[in-house]
Structure 1
Amino acid sequence: MKTYVPEYMLSAFAQQGIDSAELIYAVHTDSVDKDGILDVYIAVSNDTMYILYGEEKVVKTSGARRIVAAYEAREFEIYPLSQLGELSCEIMLSTCRLCSAKDDDSKVLLVFSVGYLTQMERLIKVINNIRQGVSPLENVIVDEELFCKKCGTRYPEPERKLCPKCMDKISIARRLMGFFKDYKGKVIVIFLTMLAGSLFSIVSPLAGTKFFFDEVLAEDGSYYGAILGAVLLLFFVRAVGVALNILYTYVLARTVPWIVQDLKMKIFEAMQRLSVGFYTSKRTGSLMNRINRDANNIYWFFVDGVPYVIVNILTFLGVMILMCMLNLKLAIICIAIIPIAICLFRMLWGVFRQFHHKNWVYSSQLNSLVSDAVNGQRVIKAFDREDTEVERFAEVGSKQAAVDIQTFNTGYTAFPLIYLFMFLGQAIVTAVGGNMVLKGEISLGTLLTFIAYLAMLYGPLEFMSWVSNWWARCVDSAQRVFEIIDAKPDIEEPENPVILDRIRGDIELENVKFEYEPASPVLKGLNLSVKAGEMLGIVGKTGAGKSTMANLIARLYDVTEGSIKIDGIDVRQLSLAQLRRSIGIVSQDIYLFMGTIADNIRYARPEASMEDVIRAAKAASAHDFIMNLPDAYETRVGAGGQDLSGGEKQRLSIARTILQDPDILILDEATAAMDTETEANIQKALSELQKGRTTIAIAHRLSTLRDADSLAVLSDGKIVESGTHKELMQKKGEYFKLYKIQMEGLKVINMEV
């Protein structure tokens, strides 16, 4: 059985007479309700929970974690699990309380700082697993899995175990190269042409300098006076080199864009697989950057970086070999300077990577600000906050500009100094080589060729300095791209999904609990059932959890505890595709995609004919206003398209769901943005749509639920009342209060009920 008890806690519990072999799980928290702030160790066994209060002393070690050196126990409490009720955490202002509730009796076991909330939630999960008879640490992340074992840095995403500091840059490069596997033939052509081009560029100084000076111009040369032939030879060598460069550039230009397109497609496809919860935790600008900017950074590195890296490496190695063959003494002088230059370049690599990461963060923030400003223009104008938005943009923009200034200043200061240092080697070679020419040890052609090769040697090093800059940006971008590609969705297709012949529509919620954030439950033990073909109305105040319940039925999120069953099968066992096709949601949050009205309605069923689209629009009372638009059903909507009212958008959303023809219909404030006349028309259309289908209607306006077979009142995440309209009115409870408030409101505005 898997257990987790930190080693530094074992001795503390052993001193209290507890056998460490019995302990299954332990957490380190604090206590703020006793004598000052104390360090608290909490451990559980199969039948007992232990709480140890005391004070610890710690010493710093390498990495980001603390190691306990000593612990002084002050108080020890033992709680048999059989005597504890349901455990929960209650959030106060800056503290939380660990509570036990049993038989209407609630007891506070511990008051701790809010920063330890996550650890306490894991402890409760372990205890619940023990009570349910499953593996205690099932679906529980232990602390050691949150930190890099090598450097102690906390993982940005614990489920991925990827440490930004320790990640293998070579592995990232190898993985990027993996995108070339479908283009092997073109890659081979590119490599061979680059290799041939490098060979001709290396040969060029021999033909243009040493051969010309020592063999053509020298009186004792083998080709003395053959100037025209030498020039033609030089031109031929250069022409062949240029032709090879053109060839590999052409092949490269026809290959790399498709590779980057594949990369963008993988990012976008991965994003489509991810759950709704992923998008609620990410800013729009950050996601847009990952698809566009990060992919383009990788693109330019492979277009302007990798090919020339190969060329320059081959050139560098070839030049070094030829220099050693020409004169070993002069070659050693050059080689002595190269390692120092390489070390300086590697130092700059780390600096530039930090700059590029900061630049990316600020760029994402700017994109998000622009997106907010564009989408929220009406609110901005209404509150006269244009200057405030400009200030927000300027604040982030100035931070990005400061990072850019640092980047440019570092580059334009450090690199010239490195080049000056490298030129020192050339000056020494010229001095030493000139002296050797005067002594007759080498020829003038050899010296001039050597100096030409020296320039060719420093050229690749100069290029590599900028490649380190590109490489830093590419690795930073690739890391973010692979985070998206490798991310695991919260909602996954079961290994062996259950596929029903037909979904009837029986829905049952059993003790459903759900929370977006730890210890902040939205639904608190919901029990509800709807028979196939019936209509259930859900009413309640804003924030009661009505829309959350709809999202759980459609499995946009998974329940924290309990289960939701459709036709007796847990939704987590059903095929996601069948489930989503069988559930139609008309939400209060309406979204229209860029395209025509017909395309937006047809989004539910792309193969639908135009007649089906028009029929659905008529059923949703949308046909008349559509025909009054400039291009009727071909009118473009969405970003940059026709501006529609909230009611018009909602009718298009209803038409889309009518075309879907689902087995289960969820109406989440479906008529909230419509006037009374339109609402009456829509209700008639929806009544026809609801026939033979299970319908869950969520509404504030109780008049829209008059045809419901049953009603349920949701308050603070629980069902407080259920029954028919008549039964609930007779109870004079929560539903009766809501009904009275709405009727009074109608009277105030002189409307007849």
Structure 2
Amino acid sequence: MVNIPVNAEIQAVPIQAGSAQGDAAGGESTMARIPGGPAEFDKIGPRLKAMLRAARYHGVELDPNEFRAASAIPAAADLSQWAQDAGMWSRAVRIRWSHLLRFQEAGPVVLLFNDGGAALLTGASAERNIVFLKSADAPDDGEAVAIDELRLSQVWTGEALLLRATRSYVAADAPFTLRWLAELVRLESHALRDITIASFTLSVLTILPPLIVMTVVNKVLQFNSVSTLVLLSAVIAVVFAYETLLGHARRLIINVVGARLDTKLQLHVFSRLLRLPLDYFERHPAGETMYHLAQVYRIREFLTGKLLSTFLDMITLCVLVPVMFYINASLAWIVLACAVVILLIILAFLRPLRGRYQRVVDAETWKSAALGETVVGIKTVKALGLEPQRKALWDERVAEAGKARLAFGQLASWPQTLVTPIERVMVLGTMLIGAYLAMNDRTGYMVGGLFAFMMIAQRVAQPLVGLARLVEDYEEVGAAIGEAASVLNRPLESSSNSAGLRPKLVGEVVFSDLTFSYIATKTPALDRVSFHIPAGSMFGIVGRSGSGKSTVARLLQGINRDYSGFLKLDGVDLKEINLRHLRQGLGVVLQDNFLFRGSIRDNIIAGRPGLTLSDAMRAAHLAGAQEFIERMPNGYDTYIEEGSPNLSGGQKQRLAIARALIHDPTILILDEATSALDPESEAVVSANLMRIASGRTMIIVSHRLASLTECDNILVMDQGKVLDVAPHATLLERCALYRQLWSQQNRHLDGRHGRPVAVPPRLV
């Protein structure tokens, strides 16, 4: 423990700041469930305690189970990320004493001490040159301690964490539009300012070579002035050297800005994609979604390429156009007139090109959907010999896309055809007219001016044409933004990560008069469903196909929230609970589980990367997966390829159960988890069910009634309605549908001898 002594002039008690050992113990305890009561609060370290108190001040309840400790002493970056994951704004900083004195009316600031302890800065007095600190262990109504700079500097070197609640409207929640992209570019204003200054300077330097050429023709050649030629040569050397260095620096800045914009754009896109609801992915093919999101790369190229280069060209035009008028106004008007004609031609073709391009987008979308569907379902294609049918579909989609692109290309070639002669007039036409004017010029200075004008005109013509074509490029990018927005601007699962309550989960579930219908269906999937699952019990759900069994599991996971009636978890309406907090308290095992590319250990601890091999082994043992993992050549380091070809269905399922158990969930949902298992694997999983269910609520959705006989209660559903809720033996006596299902599944045991079906005894 660290004592901060207090000056005799300041009447205050010493602050007791926790040590690193306390945090180490706290970090270890976060591997288990910490509901958050007083006893559990005392088990965690001072740094986590300080973060919890600071977050509560802003109305956010952090969960110690979500903290991922990279070391025994929690680092500032890890603590900041923990708060950000909970939906707060957080930043790890290093600040000075003078900065602390400015926090007079702000919320608590977490100060991290050198020994691993922490305290809360609750106020400051610049007049008295003191700050007020509160220990992480101090009661909520405890008074803060006044500390001066000398005493604080003995244990603190400036490391701190700033926290506040996230504002209701953040950039991550903004719709994906051109306005959002413009705001993204505006954030790079400092770099763009440097690029503008460099571009303006380079534009000024581009004036010098034409003027020097004009001077050489009009002065050096006409009067044979060698001294002027030497002076001009020296000026050219200096200008070229400066132009080379400045151009190199500008390109470096442009690359940095492009990389930053690209990174922010891709991070935003992936973040929005992860927050889309599951039903969106169920209704849209993966290939379609990937094609729409691929348009982001076209947007990125426009922002960092065409748009930026046109912006720089505009700076060049602002400098060179006045010089053109200064040299020869008549020729300058010709160049501008040609540019206006090019712009009008492009504008005339925009609307028909827009329609043709939309047909290209639609055709490419369907083509990508066919490709993605074939790749995802390749096992079915191979098993059923569907290669000819899929190839015929692909040929049709390719033909449609090719036809659409051909039609678009034919129309798009007309603006280029009409613009090409006008571009030639801008360069060659002005040269011919300028030559005619020079022949009739009696002063003799027109020849040098013509040379200078032609050099400048070549530099001006291309930006003017590029500026006109920017409108055409903008139309294509506008379409690309619309395609990406069709995915990214879908309603998200929650308005922000911080939305919703974070109650302590115990495991009690109550459905009360709940009705739910899927989109575009009239028949409700659940019709006035009511039942109660006590905390810590085993609860089974059975019924015919389409009876609503899996819908109950979906609603519990918060996948669908647009239901009527009530679904309460530990007395709290599930709609009010933060989705991330809810799903971290759930463990879900599906009938067909996806394993990620990586080692077996990485797949088991996927939801808790900070856990160790021993944690993975414990979860694997509980799921009955340890015996086959240890038989593998590399054990827990065995690499799993995409699609898990080196694992059987039963092995995949047991790994999925281990992955669901790794974070010790309050509620475990097995949604047809054993239906695809072979008898041996099902026997292993069933033998471990009682151990798995210990201390948690287990909900088993299954059509195999034999796996539900040990459940405390079984819910029988039919056509979205509840028929009965009772233990296995009771249902056999009073529920006709349950008795029928049981007889159908067990007739092979005694049907041949005509004996009645025996009811297996319940294990106590």
The verdict on how the C-alpha distance between 1:644 and 1:310 changes in structure 2, with shifts beyond 3 A counting, is same
The verdict on how the C-alpha distance between 1:372 and 1:672 changes in structure 2, with shifts beyond 3 A counting, is same
Q: 1:619 aligns with which of 617, 622, 627?
A: 622
The verdict on how the C-alpha distance between 1:736 and 1:288 changes in structure 2, with shifts beyond 3 A counting, is same
Unaligned runs of 5+ in 1: 1-167
Whole-angstrom CA distance in 1 between matches of 2:719 and 2:489: 37
The verdict on how the C-alpha distance between 1:402 and 1:244 changes in structure 2, with shifts beyond 3 A counting, is farther
The equivalent of 2:251 in structure 1 is 249
Deviates more, 1:549-558 or 1:483-492: 483-492
The equivalent of 2:569 in structure 1 is 566
Per-residue CA deviation, residues 482-537 of structure 1 (Å, 9 max, x unaligned), is: 5555443245579874433x322221111111111242321111111111222221
1:472 paired to 2:463: no
Paired letter, 1:475: G
Whole-angstrom CA distance in 2 between matches of 1:428 and 1:505: 83
Q: Could you say what secondary structure the match of 1:517 adopts?
A: coil
The equivalent of 1:508 in structure 2 is 510
Q: Could you say what secondary structure the match of 2:532 adopts?
A: strand
CA contact (8 A) 1:527 1:719 kept: yes
Per-residue CA deviation, residues 163-205 of structure 1 (Å, 9 max, x unaligned), is: xxxxx9xx95553232245544332222222222222223332
Whole-angstrom CA distance in 2 between matches of 1:543 and 1:212: 90
CA contact (8 A) 2:335 2:461 kept: no
1:517 paired to 2:519: yes
Q: Could you say what secondary structure the match of 1:520 adopts?
A: coil
Whole-angstrom CA distance in 2 between matches of 1:413 and 1:306: 24
CA contact (8 A) 1:216 1:230 kept: no
Whole-angstrom CA distance in 2 between matches of 1:333 and 1:554: 69
Q: 1:190 aligns with which of 195, 198, 203?
A: 195
Deviation at 1:715, TM superposition (A): 0.9
Whole-angstrom CA distance in 1 between matches of 2:352 and 2:235: 46
The verdict on how the C-alpha distance between 1:509 and 1:392 changes in structure 2, with shifts beyond 3 A counting, is same
Whole-angstrom CA distance in 1 between matches of 2:535 and 2:179: 54
Q: 1:712 aligns with which of 715, 728, 731?
A: 715
Deviation at 1:305, TM superposition (A): 1.2
Whole-angstrom CA distance in 1 between matches of 2:640 and 2:369: 22
Whole-angstrom CA distance in 2 between matches of 1:249 and 1:233: 24
1:377 paired to 2:378: yes
Deviation at 1:321, TM superposition (A): 1.1
Q: Could you say what secondary structure the match of 1:671 adopts?
A: coil
Whole-angstrom CA distance in 2 between matches of 1:391 and 1:526: 46
Whole-angstrom CA distance in 2 between matches of 1:478 and 1:638: 35
1:400 paired to 2:401: yes
Deviation at 1:631, TM superposition (A): 2.6
Q: 1:684 aligns with which of 687, 703, 707?
A: 687
Paired letter, 1:314: I
Q: 2:703 aligns with which of 684, 700, 704?
A: 700
Q: 1:303-702 residue pairs with structure 2 within 5 A?
A: 303-354=304-355, 356-426=357-427, 428-440=429-441, 443-482=446-485, 484-491=487-494, 497-500=500-503, 502-518=504-520, 519-639=522-642, 642-702=645-705
1:286 paired to 2:288: yes
The equivalent of 2:180 in structure 1 is 175
Deviation at 1:426, TM superposition (A): 4.7
Whole-angstrom CA distance in 2 between matches of 1:699 and 1:256: 53
Q: Could you say what secondary structure the match of 1:660 adopts?
A: coil
Whole-angstrom CA distance in 1 between matches of 2:387 and 2:417: 44
Q: Could you say what secondary structure the match of 1:572 adopts?
A: helix
1:274 paired to 2:276: yes
Paired letter, 1:206: L
Per-residue CA deviation, residues 688-722 of structure 1 (Å, 9 max, x unaligned), is: 11123222211111100010112221111111233
The equivalent of 1:17 in structure 2 is none
CA contact (8 A) 1:505 1:694 kept: yes
Q: Could you say what secondary structure the match of 1:590 adopts?
A: coil
Deviates more, 1:628-637 or 1:610-619: 628-637
Deviation at 1:299, TM superposition (A): 2.4
Per-residue CA deviation, residues 449-474 of structure 1 (Å, 9 max, x unaligned), is: 22333333321133335544443333
Paired letter, 2:327: L
Paired letter, 2:258: V
Deviates more, 1:557-566 or 1:447-456: 447-456
Whole-angstrom CA distance in 2 between matches of 1:437 and 1:512: 90
Q: 1:213-232 residue pairs with structure 2 within 5 A?
A: 213-219=217-223, 223=225, 226-227=228-229, 229-231=231-233
Deviates more, 1:448-457 or 1:552-561: 448-457
The structure whose residues are more often strand, as a share, is 1
TM-score normalized by the length of structure 1: 0.71
CA contact (8 A) 1:198 1:311 kept: no
The verdict on how the C-alpha distance between 1:356 and 1:257 changes in structure 2, with shifts beyond 3 A counting, is farther
The verdict on how the C-alpha distance between 1:314 and 1:183 changes in structure 2, with shifts beyond 3 A counting, is closer
The verdict on how the C-alpha distance between 1:641 and 1:184 changes in structure 2, with shifts beyond 3 A counting, is farther
CA contact (8 A) 1:505 1:664 kept: yes
TM-score normalized by the length of structure 2: 0.70
Deviation at 1:306, TM superposition (A): 2.4
CA contact (8 A) 1:294 1:478 kept: yes
The verdict on how the C-alpha distance between 1:240 and 1:255 changes in structure 2, with shifts beyond 3 A counting, is same
The verdict on how the C-alpha distance between 1:320 and 1:604 changes in structure 2, with shifts beyond 3 A counting, is closer
Deviation at 1:604, TM superposition (A): 3.1
List, as ranges, runs of 4+ consecutive aligned residues in structure 1 with deviation greater than 6 Å. 493-496, 747-750
Whole-angstrom CA distance in 2 between matches of 1:273 and 1:573: 17
Q: Could you say what secondary structure the match of 2:518 adopts?
A: strand
Paired letter, 2:195: I
Count of aligned positions: 578
The verdict on how the C-alpha distance between 1:410 and 1:242 changes in structure 2, with shifts beyond 3 A counting, is farther
Q: Could you say what secondary structure the match of 1:538 adopts?
A: strand
Paired letter, 2:259: P
Whole-angstrom CA distance in 2 between matches of 1:596 and 1:715: 42
CA contact (8 A) 1:513 1:559 kept: no
Deviation at 1:381, TM superposition (A): 1.6
Deviates more, 1:657-666 or 1:415-424: 415-424
Deviation at 1:231, TM superposition (A): 4.8
Paired letter, 1:438: M
Per-residue CA deviation, residues 538-581 of structure 1 (Å, 9 max, x unaligned), is: 11111211111111012121142111012222111223333222
Deviation at 1:253, TM superposition (A): 1.4
Q: Could you say what secondary structure the match of 1:255 adopts?
A: helix
Q: 1:111-260 residue pairs with structure 2 within 5 A?
A: 172-208=177-213, 210-219=214-223, 223=225, 226-227=228-229, 229-231=231-233, 233-234=235-236, 236-260=238-262
The verdict on how the C-alpha distance between 1:641 and 1:364 changes in structure 2, with shifts beyond 3 A counting, is farther
Deviation at 1:388, TM superposition (A): 1.7
Deviation at 1:648, TM superposition (A): 1.2
The equivalent of 2:112 in structure 1 is none
The verdict on how the C-alpha distance between 1:606 and 1:749 changes in structure 2, with shifts beyond 3 A counting, is farther
CA contact (8 A) 2:426 2:461 kept: no
CA contact (8 A) 2:529 2:721 kept: yes
Deviation at 1:361, TM superposition (A): 4.0
Choose between structure 1 and 2 for higher RCO, CA contacts under 8 A separated by at least 6 residues.
2
Whole-angstrom CA distance in 2 between matches of 1:235 and 1:346: 44
Q: CA RMSD in A?
A: 2.9
Per-residue CA deviation, residues 124-175 of structure 1 (Å, 9 max, x unaligned), is: xxxxxxxxxxxxxxxxxxxxxxxxxxxxxxxxxxxxxxxxxxxx9xx95553
The verdict on how the C-alpha distance between 1:381 and 1:498 changes in structure 2, with shifts beyond 3 A counting, is closer
